[in-house]
Amino acid sequence: MSYPDPRAALAAILQNSNAGRNAMRAVGRNNGGGGNASGVVASHVGPRPVTQTRILEECGQTLIALWEQSRAHAVLLPSPATRGLVLPGGNPQTPKNEQGCWIFHNTVSDTFRVETWTGGSTRDSCTPTAPAPQANEVLVVDFHTHPNVGQEGYLDTPSPADIAAVGTAVTGLVRSHGGYHWFGKAMPA
């Protein structure tokens, strides 16, 4: 299967598609650059740029697992009769819980490490642990889930509190029913 657009291939990757992964590899090989007359592509020297695509490719399985742990697809509410009575911060009848992690980039090995948050979490929030970079690591992403939906009185996008907490020092990433939402420090796609 061919994907003319790398974003389409990324979407397939996020849906755990082997065709999507193969298409992304093909985009890297067939992008018209880097080859010589013999068809040999020079290997990349040094760390590759940290990009949104790379984060999702290399850390995607962990982000998907955190989304699943947040129980985002649990039944919205017990009955239509109680739907109008539920306000943000006050529905003990749902098993939904926000989940989060830090993503670090090792500038020497050019790898990522994910550190999940062990602080408490509720339907409305999760408490990040202090980021603990190891040798040669830089914090690159502050990630958490938004498992609730608009019908329950919640935002699908990063909240004002999320935006304020992340600021511009690090890239923020929220996963909601609407997909991934990047904010804070700009990161190339």
> Using an 8 Å Cβ cutoff, are 152 and 124 in contact?
no
Picking from 152, 149, 151, 89, the residue whose alpha carbon sits closest to that of residue 123 is 89
pLDDT digits (tens, 9 = 90+) for 149-164: 877 778 889 999 999 9
CA distance 65 to 83: 28
For the segment 117-132, the average pLDDT, to the nearest whole number, is 83
Mean pLDDT of the chain: 77
Domain locations in the chain?
A: 1-43, 47-184
Under 8 Å CB-to-CB from 34, ≥6 apart: which residues?
41, 42
pTM of the model: 0.69
Model confidence at 45, pLDDT cuts 50, 70, 90, reads: low
**Which is higher by pLDDT, 129 or 181?**
181
Residue 1 has pLDDT above 90, yes or no: no
d(CA 94, CA 20): 34
Share of the chain above pLDDT 90, in %: 50
